Amino acid sequence: MASSFRQHTVLPGFNLALGFTLLYLSLIVLIPLSAAFIKTASLSWPQFWTTVTTPRVMASYRLTFGASLAAAAVNAVFGLLVAWVLVRYRFPGKRLIDALVDLPFALPTAVAGIALTALYAANGWIGHFFEPLGIKIAFTPLGVFVALTFIGLPFVVRTVQPVLEDIESELEEAAATLGANRLQTFSRVIFPTLLPALMTGFALAFARAVGEYGSVIFIAGNMPMISEITPLLIITKLEQYDYAGATALAVVMLVISFVMLLVINLLQWWSRRRSAMP
């Protein structure tokens, strides 16, 4: 079986390594995940549909996906800016800042959640600037957006940065020689090269934001219909022992995650093809 399924090599250990990989992955990830789908099958289709489309659930989708899109869009713009500044310019503290960009990956989400809440509350360092303007950030959907922006910050920077580093200066010199000004060179030469990476980063930030829980629940205020995200609704149903309802929502989120994963893989494939071309 092995000979037709893999190419021949003198190296040993294929069966052991692959066998262990598949066993571990099945026990920890695949079988437990399939439990969600099997559990949902205990609901009839109309039951499932009613569960995942009640007004409260629909409001949570709108908030989760709306805030995630907005946060990913802000991160696309500022992530590109940060990547550009880090790759192209020299300024004091650059290496430190470059290292700190990954902070949202390393900082536990609960810590980010309470820190952002303290900052953006009406009496917080940042919140008190907005309070006189009548803008409330913490405990509103705006707070959800702030938390998701924090969580997604490194994705665009880290996907765009290596591509930007690889761009040959000859390309830009050629554009300049041909009479393009700096803005034209950027929009017609540099930006198209960065686009696949930028979109990959956007998609990664969006996918991460959709599932985010820890940083959001502190700052959101969690009011039903207004500032309640879908992952929180899953937990709420679970705490009421509504296992089927919780699982139905989880399946909706999982299907969306799988679609996002597919999109991200396609974008990365596109990105690699782009950067492989001279």
Partner 1 sequence: MSAIALAMPAGAQRASAIQEPAWVRWTLIGLALAFLTLFLFVPLISVFYEALRKGVEVYFASIVEADALSAIKLTLTTAAIAVPLNLVFGLAAAWAIAKFEFRGKNLLITLIDLPFSVSPVIAGLIYVLIFGLQGWLGPWLLEHDIKIIFAVPGILLATIFITVPFVARELIPLMQAQGTEEEEAAVVLGASGWQTFFRVTLPNIKWGLLYGAILCNARAMGEFGAVSVVSGHIRGLTNTMPLHVEILYNEYNFAAAFAVASLLALLALVTLALKTLVESRTVKQTKGQANEHRGT
List the interface residues with partner 1, window 183-222 (CB under 8 A): 185, 200-201, 204, 207-208, 210-214, 218
- Take residue 80 and report the two structure tokens written for it: 């590109």
Listed ranges 49-57, 108-116, 130-138, 220-228: which one lies at the site for partner 1 (CB under 8 A): 108-116
Give whichever of 68 and 140 is closer to partner 1, judged by the CB atom. Answer: 68
Q: Are the C-beta atoms of 132 and 138 separated by less than 8 Å?
A: no
Distance from C-alpha of 156 to C-alpha of 152, rounded to nearest angstrom: 8
Q: Is 16 in the site for partner 1 (CB under 8 A)?
A: yes
Q: Is 255 in the site for partner 1 (CB under 8 A)?
A: no
Q: Is 59 in the site for partner 1 (CB under 8 A)?
A: no
Q: Are the C-beta atoms of 137 and 146 separated by less than 8 Å?
A: yes
Give whichever of 59 and 219 is closer to partner 1, judged by the CB atom. Answer: 219
Give whichever of 59 and 246 is closer to partner 1, judged by the CB atom. Answer: 246
The one among 49, 122, 173, 187 contacting partner 1 by CB under 8 A: 173
Q: Are the C-beta atoms of 187 and 229 separated by less than 8 Å?
A: no
Give φ, ψ of 123 to 5 degrees: -105, 10
For residue 13, CA distances in Å to 3, 7, 121 come to 14, 14, 56
Find the helix packing angle between 243-276 and 31-40, rounded to 10°: 130
Listed ranges 10-18, 44-52, 53-61, 130-138: which one lies at the site for partner 1 (CB under 8 A): 10-18
Q: Is 35 in the site for partner 1 (CB under 8 A)?
A: yes
Residue 207 CB, nearest approach to partner 1 (Å): 6
The one among 28, 122, 225, 255 contacting partner 1 by CB under 8 A: 28
Q: Is 247 in the site for partner 1 (CB under 8 A)?
A: yes
DSSP 71-110: HHHHHHHHHHHHHHHHHH---TTHHHHHHHTTHHHHS-HH
Give whichever of 50 and 268 is closer to partner 1, judged by the CB atom. Answer: 268
Residues 6+ apart with CB under 8 A from 127: 119, 120, 121, 136, 137, 138
Q: What is the largest CA-CA distance in the chain?
A: 73
The one among 155, 202, 228, 245 contacting partner 1 by CB under 8 A: 155
Q: Is 162 in the site for partner 1 (CB under 8 A)?
A: yes
Give whichever of 59 and 216 is closer to partner 1, judged by the CB atom. Answer: 216
Distance from C-alpha of 69 to C-alpha of 202, rounded to nearest angstrom: 9
Give whichever of 53 and 265 is closer to partner 1, judged by the CB atom. Answer: 265
